[in-house]
Structures are given as structure tokens and as C-alpha cells.
Amino acid sequence: MAAGGPSRSERKAAERVRRLREEQQRERLRQVSRILRKAAAERSAEEGRLLAESEDLVTELQGRSRRREGLKRRQEEVCDDPEELRRKVRELAGAVRNAKYLVVYTGAGISTAASIPDYRGPNGVWTLLQKGRSVSAADLSEAEPTLTHMSIARLHEQKLVQHVVSQNCDGLHLRSGLPRTAISELHGNMYIEVCTACTPNREYVRVFDVTERTALHRHQTGRACHKCGAQLRDTIVHFGERGTLGQPLNWEAATQAASKADTILCLGSSLKVLKKYPRLWCMTKPPSRRPKLYIVNLQWTPKDDWAALKLHGKCDDVMQLLMDELGLEIPPYSRWQDPIFSLATPLRAGEEGSHTRKSLCRSREEPPPGDRGAPLSSAPVLGGWFGKGCTKRTKRKKT
């Protein structure tokens, strides 16, 4: 042996022994795994003896199997039967009526009826990517606020909902008529670009998706501020980024609303992201003083055990039942009343070629009687997202 440690040949021999043991362990693991997949009655005496000698491996493999099954069950979509769902909605309606300060948290599940995909559903963006399947881009210029968006706007109008905190970037809450002050879009809005060189930040609402040229850590949209000439940036908060803009994220209003809330209604969210924001759950308060939590989602969420009630149903179906129970009419969406057209800042001369998205316009509908001479909006688009959602949409008459 050389001074100070084993020789090179000894180290090589020790490495060969280590690798041999690892391979023997892997082979034993494969054997035990194959035996466990058999029914107990089909196992030979020799296989039974091997299992008895490999108690630790059996425990490990059975634990892995339980974890896989648990994860699989969490990804499954579960629907309450119609009678059970109606019973739960009656309970939810009572909570809405009695709430002193109701805050609604919304996720991608409320927009699937507008053909905007969710993330973790069976056809969700992350689900498909994890399966190695491609996710195609789609033009969302036809997307409109869903029955759920319009119901939330009516509930706010009736002072039954005080604030909405959304993870969605699709701008559909804004387009439903919900006031800007009543929305916190924590991950941004695809229709809004801002100048951060101006104080306060200057906002530009567009009628097209401003994120065409932007990505993670790359937010400049290619257009300039009309006031100071600085580069505009989008408002999107990507995974791995920290949102710092005041609007449209509106974090201050979100945290104030959460601190005042006695009831929180979560619609169409897996809550896997929202759970990471402790300020939204009043975690500094003792459990008895935290808001009552009501969840509407087809899949498991990490907040299910905290919920006063979990409703397994599609958001549009639940909200239709809820509005019926509350005796409130759901206003139909109309592009002629869509606030985005009055909020939008038109592009300046020379900026028309700054995007290639198809523009949102009012021409999809006939103008209301007496307004047939109104000029059509020339403003720009929505698109560049993924796939097609699968939630059935409740039919509503257009105005």
C-alpha cells in the first residue's frame, strides 16, 4: 500500500466490488418487482422465499406503488353526481349570502369553456408536455368571457363579491366588465404593456396579445412609450420570476382583501401555485380566525383538507346552479359592451407593423339598434397560447 492511502490497483478493485454489488441490488430489485406484480396464488415457493428474504425491498417497492397510485388519483377528474352537486351548491349559496367579505380566487379552469386550456387537467399544457406530446399554439381572438366570468362580474355588481384574485393572464375578467380596482391579476394580463420609466408607470391597454416577442426574463414588446419614448414591457410573470409591477398585478389589493375576507371561493385552480403565497391564506392567523374556504375544482388540490366544502364540478355548471339558487340573472357577454375597446390605447402611426396578431374587433356581432353607424374598432389581438379546452360551455344567447 502506498503511503497515505490505498494503491491505484486497490482502488480499482474496490470500485469493481462496489459496482458489482450495485448491479446485484438492481437485479434483486427487478426480481422482487416482477414477483410482486403476480397475484399471491401464482407465486412459486422459491419466489415466496425470495420475498421473505427481501423484506426491505418489498417495503420500498410497495411504498413506491402507493405513491404512484396516490399521484394518479390526484390527477383524475372527479364529478359529483347531479343531486350531490345541487346539495353542495345550496350550501355554497348560503355561504355567499352570509359572507361579510367574500374574495374569489380563479385559475385556468374558469377559462377552459373559452377554449383556453388549463395546465394540469387531462388535456392541460403541463400534462401534455410531461407525456412528451406537442402543444400547439392557437389564436385566441375568438375567446370571450365565460359564464363563470360573467357570473363573477354580476356577483361583484350585487356586492356579494368584494375582490377577485386571478392567476390567469387571458384578460377575460377585465373584458367581463369587472372593474380594474376589483381585480388582482397576479401573473399579469396579455393585453397590457407598461412603461416602467414613467412615474407612476404608464399603462397601455391593447386589443391584441402584447406578448408576441416576450419570454422568460425578456419582456420588451418592441413598442415605445408615447410620453417618454422608453421601451414598453409586458406584464406577464413567468414561472421562476417575481412580479414587481403595481398594476395589473395589484398585489396590495389582493393582500388587503385576503386579510379582510371571512370567506374565500376558489374556482378552477389546482392551487399548487397559489398555496405558495401565504399572505393569501392568512397563515399568520390562528386556524379558527382564517377565512372559510370553498373550492370548486375537478381535481385534488393541496387545500382540500382546509376546505369547509369541496365541489367536484365544472365551473360553468356550478356557477349556473349558484346563480339560479341566488335568484340572479347571468348577463350575456357582448363585444359591443366589452370594456377593452374603451380602455385601449390605439397604436400610433408607424406602429401597425409592430405585431402580427389578429386584432380583436367588434365586427363579430351586429351593433345594437340605433348604433349601426358606430365605427368598428381598429385595435389589435389575442392569441399565441396553447391547445383547446374540453369543458362543455353552457349556451347563452348573444346580444
Annotated binding site for Zn(2+): 195, 198, 225, 228
Give the whole-angstrom CA distance, residue 252 versus residue 128. 35
Among the listed residues 149, 156, 173, 187, the single catalytic one is 187
Known catalytic residue: 149? no
Name the percent of the chain in helix, strand, coil, to the closest 5.
40, 15, 50
Give the whole-angstrom CA distance, residue 116 versus residue 376. 26
Give the whole-angstrom CA distance, residue 246 versus residue 6. 63
Give the whole-angstrom CA distance, residue 217 versus residue 215. 6
Give the whole-angstrom CA distance, residue 265 versus residue 326. 15
Tell me how many degrees the CA angle 90-97-284 measures, rounded to the nearest 5.
105
Tell me how many degrees the CA angle 217-223-227 measures, rounded to the nearest 5.
115
Give the whole-angstrom CA distance, residue 129 versus residue 119. 10
Q: Which residue has the cell 393582500?
A: 255
Q: 333-353: b or e for each residue (b if 16 or more CB lie within 10 Å)?
A: bebeebebbebbeebeeeeee
The binding site consists of 195, 198, 225, 228
Give the whole-angstrom CA distance, residue 88 versus residue 80. 9
AA letter at 199 = T
Residue 323 parent element (H or E): helix 315-326
213 in Cβ contact with 202 (< 8 Å): no
Q: Which residues are catalytic?
A: 187
